[in-house]
Amino acid sequence: MLCAAKLQLFLMNSNKTLKKTINIAIPFVLGGGILWWMYRDTDFHAMEETLLHEMDWGWMLFSLVFGVTAQMFRGIRWKQTLEPLDEHPRMMDCIHAVFISYASSLVIPRSGELSRCGVLARYDGTSFLKSLGTVVTERVIDSLLVLFITLVVILSQVAIFSSFFDRTGTNIGEILRGFTTTGYIVTAICLVITLVFLWILMKRFTFMEKLKDMVNKVKEGILSLSGVKNKGLFVFYTLAIWVSYFLHYWITFKCFDFTENLSFTVAIVSFIIGSISVIVPTPNGAGPWHFAVKTILILYGLADTDAVTFVLIVHTIQTALVPLLGIFSLVALSFRPVHKKVDNE
C-alpha cells in the first residue's frame, strides 16, 4: 500500500511538472516556429552588414531611453494606484518590480504580473492580492486606451487594414460562415453546460470562503482607481507610458536608410498592429510581432527584404534591453533588506 501511494504521488508530481513544462514550452515553440518560417530564406550575411555598417547606432541607443522611461512611468503609476489601499511601497521598489516583471516574462510568458506583486510583498510588505488587483486595473485601462487608438487609426486607414486582413488570411466573415445554425446552437449549449458544471464544482469546494476573500481582495485592488487622489496625474502617467512605447519604436525608423523617410502614419499603424499582436503568448511577442509589423511595412511599400531586416534587428535589440533592466533591479534589490512583516492576506 505504501509503495502504491508513493507511486501515485510520484505520478501526480510528474504530471504537474509535465504540464508546467508544456505551458512554458508552447510559447517558445510557437514563437520559434513563426520566426523560422519568416527567416528560413533570409540572407543573414546581408543583415549582418546592415547591422554593423549601415545602421545608425546613435538613433538606436536613443530609442532605448524611451524603453526605460515607459517602464519607469508604469512603476510610478502603480505606486499611485496602491496608495488608496493604504499600501505605500517605495517608488524605486515599484520601478524595480516592473523591470523584473518584464524580464521574467521573457522566461515564462505572462508571469510578470505575479512576479512584480511578489517583489513588493517581499521588500515592502505590500498585500500580494491587493497589488494584483491594481495590476488588473492597469491592464484594463491600457487595453481600453489601445482599443481607442486602434479604432481611430482603423477609421483613418481602412484600405490598409483591409489589405492586412486579406494578406494574413484573417477574415472574420469567412470564419463565422463556417458555422451552421446547428453549430451555433451546439456551441451555445456546450458553453452553458460548462459554466453550470463549473459553478456546481466551485460550490462544493471547501475553500470557497477563502476563494471569496481572495476575490474580494483582488476586487478591492481593481476598484482602487476610484480612490486615486490626483486623477489628472494618473492620466498623465498613462499617456507618458504609451508615448514612451511609441517613441521607443518610432525612433528606430531613423536607424535605417530604407525606413527613415516613412511617415508618422506608417509608424502609428505598425505600432498599433504590433501592440495587438503581442497578445499571442510568446516571449516579448517574438514571432507574432515580427510577422504583423513586417506585413504592415510591406503594405505601405517597403521592400520585403528591408521589412524583414528592420523587424528582426529592432526587436532583438529592444528585447535585449529587458533582461538588462531586470538584472539591474535584481542586483539593486539584493542590497535591500527583506520586509519582516508576513503578509497573510
Among 102-111, 163-172, 237-246, which stretch is predicted with the lowest mean pLDDT? 163-172
In this structure, are residues 38 and 308 in contact, taking their beta carbons and an 8 Å threshold? yes
Q: pLDDT band at 67, cuts 50/70/90?
A: very high
Judged against a pLDDT cut of 50, whether residue 56 lies above it is answered with yes
**Cα(39)–Cα(131) distance, rounded to whole angstroms?**
41
Mean pLDDT of the chain: 79
> Can you tell me which residue has the cell 491592464?
139
**Cα(5)–Cα(9) distance, rounded to whole angstroms?**
6
Per-residue pLDDT at 214: 53
- The residues, ordered by sequence, that sit 6+ positions from 272 with a Cβ below 8 Å of its Cβ are 146, 149, 150, 153
- Residue among 137, 147, 163, 153 nearest 80 (CA): 137
Q: pLDDT band at 207, cuts 50/70/90?
A: very low
**DSSP letters for 216-276:** HHHHHHHGGGGG-S-HHHHHHHHHHHHHHHHHHHHGGGGGSTTTTT--HHHHHHHHHHHHH
Judged against a pLDDT cut of 70, whether residue 51 lies above it is answered with yes
**Cα(332)–Cα(252) distance, rounded to whole angstroms?**
29
Phi, psi of 110, rounded to the nearest 5 degrees: 70, 10
Q: What is the DSSP letter of 279?
A: T
Q: What is the DSSP letter of 97?
A: H
Per-residue pLDDT at 100: 95
- Collapsing DSSP states into helix, strand and coil, what is residue 82? helix
In this structure, are residues 103 and 326 in contact, taking their beta carbons and an 8 Å threshold? yes
Most confident range, picked from 147-156, 164-173, 283-292, 322-331: 322-331
Grid coordinates representing 50?
546592415
> Can you tell me which residue has the cell 505590500?
126
Mean pLDDT of 63-82: 95
